[in-house]
Amino acid sequence: MQRAIEENIEEANEQIEDIDKELADSTDPDVREKQQRRRYLNERLEDREEELQNAREDAAISLSRAGPVAYNQDALEYTIEQFRDREESGQEPPDIPEWWLDQLLDDGECICGTDIESEEEKREHLEHFKEKITEAASNSVNGRRKVQRALDRGDDLVSEAKERKRRVEDIKDDIDDINEELREISADSALNSPLHVQN
């Protein structure tokens, strides 16, 4: 059965080659022009099919990169919202610049007027406060920044995946157009071929 199918395909290809040769040798300029157009379209079709394969691979890679971030987008947005809520409700450490605390320690006097140079316990308290507040603020800012970067990167990856999918669709549309034009040329050539049997 398989052998018979292969023989039929081989026979059909030989017939196509014979018709192509006959048409290429035609004295009719329209026929020659169509044959040239067919050759051009077949070459273009081959190129576009290769481009389609590459575009599909690119789209798959983009989707695999964008998928996890897109899947977790709601969680990332929720996390950013929680950072904002904590800031607005005062749960986040105050935004006290480290340089300002250093200046208080260097000057030896608190903003309330207490001499922190002579009162060791108050100085230690301010130094401890500086360490805690700086570390907490740094962790909070860094955490928020990392989440925001992941969210932004995710948006970029999703946009890239969509663009690559559009490219695949554009190439497929072009391939469909080429195949349609080839079918039209074939149908027209078959009707005008001397091998065409008219009733």
3-state secondary structure of 75: helix
**146 pLDDT exceeds 50?**
yes
Question: For the segment 64-99, what is each residue's pLDDT rounded down to a tens digit?
Answer: 888 888 788 888 888 888 878 877 776 666 667 777
Domain ranges for the chain, please list them.
2-94+152-192
The answer to whether 181 and 87 are in contact (CB under 8 A) is: no
Backbone angles phi, psi at 75, to 5 degrees: -65, -40
**152 pLDDT exceeds 80?**
yes
Question: For the segment 16-32, what is each residue's pLDDT rounded down to a tens digit?
Answer: 676 666 666 566 777 77
Highest averaged pLDDT of the listed ranges 52-56, 93-97, 157-161:
52-56
**138 pLDDT exceeds 90?**
no
The pLDDT-based confidence of 100 (bands split at 50, 70, 90) is: confident
pLDDT, position 59 = 93
pLDDT, position 197 = 43
Going 82 to 87 to 90 to 94, the CA torsion angle's sign is positive
